[in-house]
Structure 1
């Protein structure tokens, strides 16, 4: 199933995308797309989507699920991306955090912070945890997945790499975590290591990749992380980006206000963000 949340920011309603790509309401069936939904996929699969009310118009799509206690990201997880970044190929996963305040809807604007000047893009596969996970074996790890989604790991490279290599500072600014448009349930993705990804800037193709090229696969990452922290239902893992980021171009290319980023996957849907300057407010 393809779960969505639609409506104004803070007032989203639960829904799903039917086989014809139409938005339908799940109101009255579930209160939210959250851990309660992750825990009963069999019951929800019995729903006749065609019997659900159609949602008219083109409402805003929000983050397709709630309950993200941790937004974990993996760096340099594609060999060609590590090479373009001129960094060593990792021998174990590089783990960093994106603060949950960075989370935004798939088509919401990305706000460039005051003073930022190296704003970059990264299309990624997101993995959503479905049940409490601790010390899980790699062979069992995918059983703990609720579903998959698209993530843009927006990054301010000056903050990330020119302030003592503070990766978290350059990754977690407000609006730097667009998620969605859908949460695709685990049963619809036969192999998370065969998902196509792409990203355009102003209509020009920048990134093309497939998750088969990850250095550390999804099951390995879940098992690895579960040895260092308890993963909870709704926790999100952004699994790294293929090559083609702005930092790696010659000369480097960074996002400016007015630029439009579109990204997507045949399996996971598409996102669209316009870059805008963040309003400056006194502290």
Structure 2
């Protein structure tokens, strides 16, 4: 979307440079771009190489897990696809900070059947263990199977875009995993009550942009203080309505601090240190 292309159609000029400028101007120090497939991971590395403070993950999202077996995309075997992911990670140690996004998504089985998701989530967990690299994890409507696999194949990492129960969060934390919060984690009053109770030492801030912005219909919106100029039509100096950007991470922090009754700076410092510990301790 930051290339101006939506569903194969060009709608406006590429504006990644402006998106990054707004990010740095808002106080962001590092950005991690998520790889969701082999192709997307290659592109994520290309984007990360445009700026010294942009990093990425490499992996295959559960809704794309069928790509491991798709001969039209993968001329070799599933092992070749996995080996290609491994090669990207090993060949780009200064830019790749985690394996992922990988996990299970039972809300969208129309994109990839459960059995395929399970098979290649396991493969990616095994790869993370082999490479001793953190994992950027996705769990949607799949807690039991997800928890079983991360218990069988323990890794360090963060369960991103978390919107589960407090009991789910505690189970993940007991395994040594962290919890990632974005706008999609702050939609309902129930979401807010869960985020309020998660220990700050286990929290991460994220935007999941271009998705998961905090919208006026969300329970967390009433706590947002920082507002950005937006436009329904693309303009170079405004956020495009409906397309999230990294700079809105400030809004996620504001909501979290408000519902937890914590000082924003203190909470931000703790979460930033969590991110450095998990993703940048070797850099």
TM-score (structure 1 length as normaliser)? 0.25
Q: Which has the higher strand share?
A: 1
Q: Which has the higher contact order (CA 8 A, sep 6+)?
A: 1
Q: Which has the higher helix share?
A: 2
TM-score (structure 2 length as normaliser)? 0.25
